[in-house]
Amino acid sequence: MTVTVPDDVDAVVYDLDGTLVRLTVDWRTVESEIAAVLRDADVDPSGLDAWAMLDAAEDAGVGSEVESLIAAAERDGARDARRLPFADEIETRLPIGICSLNCEQSCHIALEKHDLAERMESVVGRDSVPERKPAPEPLLAAAEELGATPERTLFVGDSAGDEEAAERAGTQFAYVGDGPTSY
């Protein structure tokens, strides 16, 4: 599981869920609740996952209601999150931060629960900037908060979406473990 930090890196940004911790979110229940909101807004949620439903909700003008549902589930899931083994291998000599698809508050909750918060100099969640991963803006915001240029930032994650965010932001990238998982 070890990630080697290249010599040309000035900061390391980590994905949170699936990389350092595992939030305990029942996504089927969340998606069912989102689907009900969408149906009430005359939007067909068939075949959409939570993130596509969030996009549809934003388009239908009910994005804040759906965002609140997701964020509440993430905050609850962060309180019960379990620490993953890689959390014991985080960088200790460079500035480090978080760039997550989870809401920022859930990131703080999980980091506090597992004594990782004090080390993080930047925490960027889904709701910290106007765009969300895999858009480059969240990762670029984290790198900037750490005082690093994108090309001298290493993003460590567990999903193809994390890799896409790194590519779009122009950062270096490393997978935790053997390769990508889904969101």
* Identity of the amino acid at 169: A
Question: How would residue 118 be classed by pLDDT, with cut points 50, 70 and 90?
Answer: very high
- Whether 113 shows a pLDDT value over 60: the answer reads yes
Residue 3 lies in a domain: no
According to the model, what pLDDT value does residue 178 have?
Answer: 55
% of the chain residues with pLDDT over 90:
91
According to the model, what pLDDT value does residue 1 have?
Answer: 58
Counted domains in the chain:
2
- Whether 179 shows a pLDDT value over 60: the answer reads no
Q: Which of 83, 92, 112 is nearest to 17 (CA)?
A: 83
Scanning 16-155, the segments in alpha helix (DSSP H) are: 27-40, 50-59, 63-79, 104-113, 137-145
Q: Which residue has the higher pLDDT, 3 or 109?
A: 109
Query: To 5 degrees, how large is the angle CA 175–CA 178–CA 183?
Result: 60
Q: Which residue has the higher pLDDT, 85 or 2?
A: 85
According to the model, what pLDDT value does residue 92 have?
Answer: 84
Mean pLDDT of 57-82: 97
d(CA 156, CA 170): 13
- Whether 97 shows a pLDDT value over 90: the answer reads yes
Considering the domain architecture, whether residues 72 and 89 belong to the same structural domain is answered as no
Q: Which residue is associated with the tokens 């070890």?
A: 2
Considering the domain architecture, whether residues 134 and 68 belong to the same structural domain is answered as no
* Prior bond of 6 cis (ω within 30°): no
Considering the domain architecture, whether residues 62 and 144 belong to the same structural domain is answered as no
Considering the domain architecture, whether residues 126 and 51 belong to the same structural domain is answered as no
* Identity of the amino acid at 68: S
- Whether 161 shows a pLDDT value over 60: the answer reads yes
According to the model, what pLDDT value does residue 59 have?
Answer: 96
- Whether 119 shows a pLDDT value over 80: the answer reads yes
Considering the domain architecture, whether residues 139 and 169 belong to the same structural domain is answered as yes
Q: Which residue has the higher pLDDT, 92 or 94?
A: 94
Considering the domain architecture, whether residues 55 and 117 belong to the same structural domain is answered as no
- Whether 28 shows a pLDDT value over 50: the answer reads yes
Q: Which two tokens stand for residue 159?
A: 């999903």
Query: To 5 degrees, how large is the angle CA 26–CA 80–CA 163?
Result: 65
DSSP 129: S
Domain holding 118: CATH number?
Answer: 3.40.50.1000
Mean pLDDT of 102-130: 97
Mean pLDDT of 144-151: 98
Residue 180 lies in a domain: no
